[in-house]
Structures are given as structure tokens and as C-alpha cells.
Structure 1
Amino acid sequence: MRAWIFNALPLKNPTLFLSLCLLYSADSLAALTSAQQVAKERGIMLYNQYKPAEIELRVAAEAGDSEAQFYLGEELRHKHRHMTAEARNFLEASANQGNLYAMIRLGNSGSGLCNILGNCPRGFKSQEDWLREAWRTSKILAEKGDPEGLYIFYRVTGDFDSLIKSAEAGFAFAQYWLAQRYRNGDSFFWLPWQRNQQIEHWFKAAAENGNPQAMVEYAVIVYENGGDMAVARHWIEESAKTGFQIGVAHLATEHAHLRTYFGFPPDLVKGYGLMSLLLVLDVGGGTLDSTKHNLTEMIKMMPPEQIEQGKAFALEWQAANPRPVSFFPMMLDPLDSF
């Protein structure tokens, strides 16, 4: 299953993107029509909400868009729970345009049936070929000090120093992941408080750089340490503004006073409006059940006019914070084994 962990979109770093443009032919970078761009954006939104996104992503992927090709390859791979020939084709098309995330996925997903049968066509790249290509390209970027390039080099090689350098260079997801690695016991610290200090430092840095998951993590640390609750409330609200499901849920339940950790003032209208936004995540399971349960509890405390006000607040919130509510899955989940 896809994890809920957030990661930046591939090639969001302008320096990385421009570097890859120099490494790969310019005519491979597809220019989408407005309709194709709309389909691509909707497809990515649906993918991040764990909803079927194949139809929308296929529009842009078949037009040659590298990012859509990557997402479609992943969508097909998750749909069938293994690397199908079509999923591989789209991932290869993306990788051939320089998408390093696609290269890593191909490098970690076996070499395909033709490699096993020994009848691969001329020019076919094996699992090892893609990993070497990802290593070569990311090494060039890492040597230039590119923050995302350093992170990708870490993903290819496992070089922990590259993860640290990426975090120090300001790549938000590397900062988040470094904090998680320290929390999981990686690296050595003479004193326990030094480890905790580094965990807090890197979650805060990632939060300040826009990572919504780190925003929640840092708010929880502030709460657990008995820190300034105004700071904790700020980061919970900032996370919710990104559309991150956990941030929205925290803010909603806090305002409704179904759970109170961070000291938000009671406001059932805001709580109901925010919680109702999560109904779009109707993929079943714990998230939908929890959302419906919380809304039911709020309705018990609200007259009809307040419920209508809550619905109006939800529309106002969406207008002010247009990023769609989603789970923000990371591009390459270390826990994803197929």
C-alpha cells in the first residue's frame, strides 16, 4: 500500500531540472495543451488522494509528459500490485527524459520478463543499467552541491553523508527524512539529549521549508516538551493549509474540542467545515470512518444554522487555501516492496 508520507514532486528543484535538460535531449520535453495540463493536474490530485487516476494521467503521459508518465507508471504498478509491462513502459519513457525517480523505481523493481528469458530488444536497459544511470546523473548533481541531487544520490547509494548534506543545503524532504532517521536510532550521539535536539532541529527546518508532515511532527514535539503552544498551533494550522490530511484533521478536532492538545479556541463552525473537507478522501478504511464519526459527534452539538455556517466556512477555506486535500504520498516509499 502507498504510505501517507509526503514528498516533493519530482524535479521541483529548478537547478536540478535545468541540469537534467542539459543531460537529456530537449525535444523529449513535451509541451502540453491546456486540456492535457488540466488532466495531468487532476490525475496527480486523484493519485495523491489514493483514487483511480489512470484515465487522467494517461492523457498527459501519452502526450509525452515525463512527470505524468512517472505517476501513471506508479498508478498501474499499484493497481496490479506488481510491475506490469505497461507500467514499465511508462516509467522507462519518463526515465529516458531524465526523471531520476523513475530511474530509481526501475532500478529497484527487477529487470523484466525479457531479461529473464534472454530475449530483450536492442537497447533494453536492465535493473542494473537504470541504477547506474541514476547513480551517474545524481553524482554529477551531488558534486555540484544540488540539494535534491544530493538526496537522490543518497537514495541510490545509501550514503548517509549525502542525506546530511542535502538537509544542510535546504532540501525539505531530506531534512524531514534525516529527522526520521535520527528518531529511528541511526547515527551515534554521546548523550540522548543530543539526538533529541537534532530530531527537533531538522523537523523544524523541514517545517519552515514547507514540508507539511514535518509541521505536524514539530508541533507535537513542542507540545511534548511543554513549549510555546502558540508555536504549536501555528504549525498545525500551516500544515492544514497545505491540504495535508493529518493537519486538517488535527485542526478540525481541536476547534471542535473533540481532542484538545494545542489549545485552539472552541469553534464548532470551523471544526465542522474543516472536517467536512476530508469527506473527499472517500477511499474507505480508517480515514473515511473517522471523518464520518467526528462529523456525527459535531452535529450532536450544533443547531442546523451552525451546520450551514460550517459548510460555508469550508468553501471559504478552500478558496483561501486551494491546494487539494490529500494524503501527500512520497514519490519513492522505502516501505513499498513491490
Structure 2
Amino acid sequence: MIKQIIISIVLNIFFSCSAVAQLTHEQQAAKDKGLTLYNQSDWYDSQPLLQIAAEAGDRMAQYYLGEAIRLSKRYTTAEAKRWYEAAAEQGDLYAMLRLSSKDDLCRYMGTCNGTIGEQWRKQAIKIARERAGRGDTEAMIVLYLANQGLAWLEKAAEAGDGFGQYLLASVYESGKGWFLIPGSREKAIGKWFKASAENGFPPGMYLYTNFLYEHGGSETDVGYWLKKTAEAGHIEAMVSYALNIAHLPERYGLPLDLVKAYGFTYMLSKLEGGGVGPEDGKRNLPRVAEKMNEQEIQEGIAFAKEWEKTHPPLSYFDPVYGY
């Protein structure tokens, strides 16, 4: 009961004051670098950087530090739980969901408390309903994730949320939702992946590319979206796009561009996180180089360095509340 009262008091203070941590230049730089590493699946090296901003009171850094710890340890440790609580006490709905998750090994490791978790879940639903009523699409998605009904996710998608559109298409693709007319499910999946792609949401762009490929889309359209997704910094799309513009092989009418192919593959090979990017980059770099002379290779490296200066960091774009 005491813990529940404390939670309510802290949340009331937060929402009445709308307190936001003001980071110094160094703290912001640490946060940005930490998020970059986290989004490249480097859950270990991201932690000390995120901790700098988290200790300064940054809510986002607190949540992602909890995520990095959980993913690296494969369950919510006491340390991860502490950072989720710090973020939740500042109103982070996803942190509240993590604290109330029933699908975590922490239930068996003794680092979760079921009663307190349920209180956080109630707070998340209460706050999300209030925000959703004001048109907040993130809150609508949280309500869906909190098992409050598919209709909330559909509302978020219809309101133009790129993540909501991507998630709704994925949910339909998994077999959820009712479709009475034959073929209407596939049409809805394509519709929402396309909407997410046109919204500029990289995971939506990537899955729309795959949808077109698997459903007889034109080579031109597949190539167009593969290029767009790769140029948005999506690591998995970049792996495929680089091979295509190196013609190893080429399947979508994309012109040969060995310098660009080498540059992209070079960037992938230098990633230090997990996932397919670093391994594929290291494996594919010699294949691209075989088709080039030394000058072209140096131009490819120069292209990569210039790209990194003028574009956002490469990312897997994992969902904020993912696996």
C-alpha cells in the first residue's frame, strides 16, 4: 500500500510539473552515442553511456538503459528494474509495461514483485487512456500492448502513426483480426505496410519491400523501396541493397554502383553490435572488392565516411517495446 501511494504521489508531481531533465552537452552526447549503440544491438557498450544521461534524470536514457541491461542478461535484473522504475516514475508508459510484464524470467529469478507490477500496469492503462482520449497515438499503442483491445491499435494506425501502421499490418499478418471476405486480410496488410512506408517509418518501409516481393510487386517498386529503406539507414535493407547495386546479383533493375556498394558494405563491416550487419558486412566486403580497383575502393571508403557525417547512424530500428 505504501509503495502504491508513493507511485501515485510521484506520478502526480511529474504530470503537474512536466519536469524534464536538462542534460549538459556532454551528457547529451553520451545519450546519443548510447542510443546509437543500442539501436545497433550493442547492448553492452551502450550501458555506460546511457547511464551518464540516466543518472542525470533523462527518462528516455533510463528506459533504454533498463532495456540494454535486460537484453544483455536476458531477464529483468534488479538493476534493470531500478532504471525502469526511474523512467516509470517520470511517466514512461513502456517502462510501466516492463515492470508489469508476466513474460519475463525475473518471475523465476526473484527480481520482480507481482503486486507492485500490477500497480504499475493499472497506472499505465489509466494514464494511457487519458492520453489516448486527447489523440495521443503512442498511448493508443500502449493500450493495445496492455491487452486493451485491437481497436486501439487500429485507431493509432488510422490516425497516421507510422509505427502503429507497421504494427497493425504485422498483427494482421500473424492471423489476428477478423476478415470475412476472401483476400481482404492481404489487402489490409498491404495497405498498412504501404501507409507506414509512405510515412517514412523504416521498419514499415522494409516490410513493405518484402510484401511487394512476396506478392508479385513489380521489380521497379521493390527496388525503389529497397533503396529508400537502405538510404534511411536500415541495416538489414542496406545489406541487400549493397549486394544488388554491386550486381551480386542484381534483381530489381538497380544500376551498378560499386563505389556506393563498397561504401555501404564497409560501414556495415565496422559495426560492433549484434544482428546480421557486422557479419554480413565482413563477409560481403571482399566480394564487392573483387570487382573494383584500388582507387574505386578508396572512393568507397571516402563515400562511407562522408555518409556517416551527413546521415543518421545505421540502425535495426527495433520497436521501443520489442522482444
* TM-score for both structures, normalised by structure 2: 0.87
Residue 25 of structure 2 is aligned to residue 34 of structure 1: yes
More divergent stretch after superposition (162-171 vs 182-191): 182-191
Alignment of 1:119-198 (within 5 A): 126-198=116-188
Give yes or no for contact 2:239–2:280 (8 Å, CA) kept in 1.
Answer: no
- 2: CA distance between counterparts of 1:114 and 1:299? 51
Q: What's the counterpart of residue 92 of structure 1?
A: 85
Residue 234 of structure 2 is aligned to residue 244 of structure 1: yes
Give yes or no for contact 1:154–1:162 (8 Å, CA) kept in 2.
Answer: yes
Q: What's the counterpart of residue 74 of structure 2?
A: 81
Q: What's the counterpart of residue 65 of structure 1?
A: 58
Q: Which has the higher contact order (CA 8 A, sep 6+)?
A: 1
- 2: CA distance between counterparts of 1:240 and 1:127? 39
Q: What's the counterpart of residue 318 of structure 2?
A: 329
Q: Which amino acid aligns with 2:317?
A: F
Per the TM alignment, residue 77 of structure 1 is displaced from its structure 2 partner at its CA by 1.8
* TM-score for both structures, normalised by structure 1: 0.83
Q: Quick one: which of 266, 269, 272 aligns to 1:276? A: 266
Q: Deviations over 1:13-64 (max 9, x none)?
A: xxxxxxx999624374211111111111111111111222111111110011
Aligned sequence identity (%): 39
Q: What SS does structure 2 have at the residue aligned with 1:251?
A: helix
Q: Quick one: which of 288, 293, 296 aligns to 1:298? A: 288
Q: What SS does structure 1 have at the residue aligned with 2:183?
A: helix
Per the TM alignment, residue 230 of structure 1 is displaced from its structure 2 partner at its CA by 3.7
Give yes or no for contact 2:76–2:111 (8 Å, CA) kept in 1.
Answer: no
Q: Deviations over 1:262-319 (max 9, x none)?
A: 2211111111111111123234675433222211111111111111111122223333
- 2: CA distance between counterparts of 1:137 and 1:285? 35
Residue 306 of structure 2 is aligned to residue 316 of structure 1: yes
What runs of 5+ residues in structure 2 fail to find an aligned partner?
A: 1-10
- Give the superposed CA RMSD: 2.3
- 1: CA distance between counterparts of 2:25 and 2:17? 20
Flag the 1:244–1:28 CA change in 2: closer, same or farther, 3 A: same
- 2: CA distance between counterparts of 1:292 and 1:114? 40
What runs of 5+ residues in structure 1 fail to find an aligned partner?
A: 1-19, 117-124
- 2: CA distance between counterparts of 1:235 and 1:312? 25
